[in-house]
Amino acid sequence: MFKWLEKNLPKIVMAPAVGLIGWFVYGFVLWTLYISFTNSKILPKYELWGFGQYEKLWASRKWLIAVDNLLIFTALFLIFCVVIGIILAIFLDQKIRAEGLLRTIYLYPMALSFIVTGTAWKWILNPTLGIQKMFRDWGFENFTFDWLVDREMAIYTIVIAGVWQSAGFVMALFLAGLRSVEDEIVKAAKIDGASLFTVYWKILLPMMRPVFFTSFVILVHISIKSYDLIVALTQGGPGISTTMPALYMTQTAFHKSQVGLSAASAMMMFMAVAAVIIPYLYSELRRENAR
Amino acid sequence: MQDSLKSSSYQQLEQKSKYTNIFLRWFLYFILILFASYFIFPLYVMVVTSLKTMEEIRQGTLLSWPSGLNLESWAVAWGGRGYGAGDTFLRPYFWNSIKMVVPAVFFSTFIGAMTGYVLTKWRFKGDQWVFLFLLFGCFIPFQAILLPMARTLGVLGISNSVVGLVLVHTVYGIPFTTLFFRNYYISVPTELVKAARIDGAGFFKIFFKILLPISAPIIVVTVIWQFTQIWNDFLFGSTFSFGEAAPIQVALNNMVLSSTSVKEYNVDMASAIIAGIPTLIVYVLAGKYFIRGLTSGAVKG
Question: Could you report the per-residue pLDDT of A131-143, keeping only the tens digit for each?
Answer: 888 888 887 877 7
Which residues of chain A lie closer than 8 angstroms to B172, CB-CB? 24-25
Name the H helices within B51-161: 54-59, 72-79, 91-121, 127-135, 143-156
Could you tell me how many residues make up chain B?
Answer: 301
Q: What is the pLDDT of residue A62?
A: 92
Q: Evaluate whether residue A28 is within a structural domain.
A: no
Mean pLDDT (whole number) for A239-252: 91
Contact state of A169 with B294 under an 8 Å Cβ cutoff: yes
- pLDDT grade for A285, boundaries at 50, 70 and 90: confident
- Inter-residue contact A161 to A179 (CB < 8 Å): no
Q: Evaluate whether residue A77 is within a structural domain.
A: yes
Checking if the pLDDT of A65 tops 90, the result is yes
Checking if the pLDDT of B96 tops 90, the result is yes
Q: Chain B closest CA to A220's CA: distance in Å? A: 10
Grouping H, G, I as helix, E, B as strand and the rest as coil, residue B67 is coil
Q: Evaluate whether residue A235 is within a structural domain.
A: yes
Q: What is the pLDDT of residue B194?
A: 86
- Inter-residue contact A210 to A57 (CB < 8 Å): no
Mean pLDDT (whole number) for A166-193: 86
Cis ω for the linkage preceding A16 (within 30 of 0) = no
Contact state of B291 with A172 under an 8 Å Cβ cutoff: yes
- Inter-residue contact A98 to A182 (CB < 8 Å): no
Q: What is the pLDDT of residue B83?
A: 67
Q: Evaluate whether residue A4 is within a structural domain.
A: no
Q: What is the pLDDT of residue A51?
A: 84
Cα B243 from Cα B251, distance rounded (Å) = 8
Range in B68-77, B78-87, B94-103 with the lowest mean pLDDT: B78-87
For residue A48, the cross-strand partners are A38
Mutation for testing the A interface, residue in B139, B205, B300 having most A CBs under 10 Å: B139
Q: What is the pLDDT of residue B85?
A: 61
Mean pLDDT (whole number) for A32-52: 82
- pLDDT grade for B7, boundaries at 50, 70 and 90: low
Contact state of B29 with A96 under an 8 Å Cβ cutoff: yes
Q: What is the pLDDT of residue B127?
A: 86
**For all residues of chain A together, what is the average pLDDT?**
87
Q: Chain A closest CA to B133's CA: distance in Å? A: 8
Grouping H, G, I as helix, E, B as strand and the rest as coil, residue B123 is coil
> Which comes out higher in pLDDT, residue B230 or B79?
B230
Q: What is the ipTM of this complex?
A: 0.88
| Top-tier CATH class for B91-297 | mainly alpha
Q: What is the pLDDT of residue B12?
A: 60
**For all residues of chain B together, what is the average pLDDT?**
85
> Which comes out higher in pLDDT, residue B92 or A195?
B92
Cα B239 from Cα A13, distance rounded (Å) = 31
| Number of structural domains in chain A | 1
Q: What angle do CA A215, A221, A225 make, to 5 degrees?
A: 145
Mutation for testing the A interface, residue in B143, B203, B236, B299 having most A CBs under 10 Å: B143
Residues 225-244 of B with CB under 8 A from A: 228, 231-235, 238-239
Contact state of B252 with A228 under an 8 Å Cβ cutoff: no
Whether chain A has a CB inside 8 Å of the CB on B38: the answer is yes
Mean pLDDT (whole number) for A79-83: 96
Checking if the pLDDT of B301 tops 50, the result is no
Cα A89 from Cα A175, distance rounded (Å) = 5
Contacts of A94-103 spanning 24+ positions with Cβ under 8 A: A94/B28, A96/B28, A96/B29, A96/B32, A102/B32, A102/B36, A103/A171, A103/A172, A103/A175
Checking if the pLDDT of B110 tops 70, the result is yes
Give the percent of chain B with pLDDT over 70: 89
Q: What is the pLDDT of residue B298?
A: 45
> Which comes out higher in pLDDT, residue A237 or B267?
B267
For residue A38, the cross-strand partners are A48
Closest CB from A87, A254, A270 relative to B140: A270
Residues 264-283 of B with CB under 8 A from A: 265, 268-269, 271-273, 275-276, 279-280, 282-283
- Inter-residue contact B295 to A176 (CB < 8 Å): yes
Mutation for testing the B interface, residue in A91, A123, A180 having most B CBs under 10 Å: A123
Q: What is the pLDDT of residue B300?
A: 35
Instruction: Residue A101: give its domain's CATH number.
Output: 1.10.3720.10
Kindly state the DSSP code that residue B207 receives in the 8-state scheme: I
Which domain does A143 fall in, by range?
A: 53-290
Question: Could you report the per-residue pLDDT of B13-28, keeping only the tens digit for each?
Answer: 566 677 777 888 888 8
Q: Evaluate whether residue A48 is within a structural domain.
A: no
Q: Evaluate whether residue A197 is within a structural domain.
A: yes
Q: What is the pLDDT of residue A64?
A: 94
**B150 closest CA partner among B158, B140, B162, B139:** B158
Range in A159-168, A203-212, B144-153 with the lowest mean pLDDT: A203-212
Give the percent of chain A with pLDDT over 90: 42
Specify the pTM: 0.89
Highest mean pLDDT among A198-207, B41-50, B238-247: B41-50
Mean pLDDT (whole number) for A118-125: 91
Which residues of chain B lie closer than 8 angstroms to A130, CB-CB? 62
A-B contacts (CB, under 8 Å)? 260
Q: What is the pLDDT of residue A230?
A: 93
Residue by residue, DSSP assigns chain A as: -HHHHHHHHHHHHHHHHHHHHIIIIIIHHHHHHHHHTBT-SSS---SB-TTHHHHHHHH-HHHHHHHHHHHHHHHHHHHHHHHHHHHHHHHHTTT-TTHHHHHHHHHGGGGS-HHHHHHHHHHHH-TTTSHHHHHHHTT-TT----GGG-TTTHHHHHHHHHHHHHHHHHHHHHHHHHHTS-HHHHHHHHHTT--HHHIIIIIIHHHTHHHHHHHHHHHHHHHHH--HHHHHHTTT-STTTT--HHHHHHIIIIIS--HHHHHHHHHHHHHHHHHHHHHHHHHHHHHHHH-
From residue B125, how far is each of A17, A85, B128, B130 by CA, in Å?
17, 41, 8, 10
Q: What is the pLDDT of residue B93?
A: 92
Range in A254-263, A278-287, B192-201 with the lowest mean pLDDT: A278-287
Whether chain A has a CB inside 8 Å of the CB on B147: the answer is yes
Backbone angles phi, psi at A48, to 5 degrees: -70, 145
In our burial notation (b when 16+ CB lie closer than 10 A, e otherwise), range A26-36 reads eebbebbeebb
10 Å CB burial of residue A101 (0-12, 13-18, 19+) is exposed
Cα B164 from Cα B166, distance rounded (Å) = 5
> Which comes out higher in pLDDT, residue B262 or B141?
B141
| SS3 letters across B225-274 | HHHHHHHHCCHHHHHHCCHHHCCHHHHHHHHHHCCCCCCCHHHHHHHHHH
- Inter-residue contact A116 to A230 (CB < 8 Å): no
- Inter-residue contact B75 to B274 (CB < 8 Å): no
Contacts of A60-64 spanning 24+ positions with Cβ under 8 A: A60/A261, A62/A240, A62/A243, A62/A248, A63/A245, A63/A248, A63/A265
Checking if the pLDDT of B247 tops 90, the result is yes
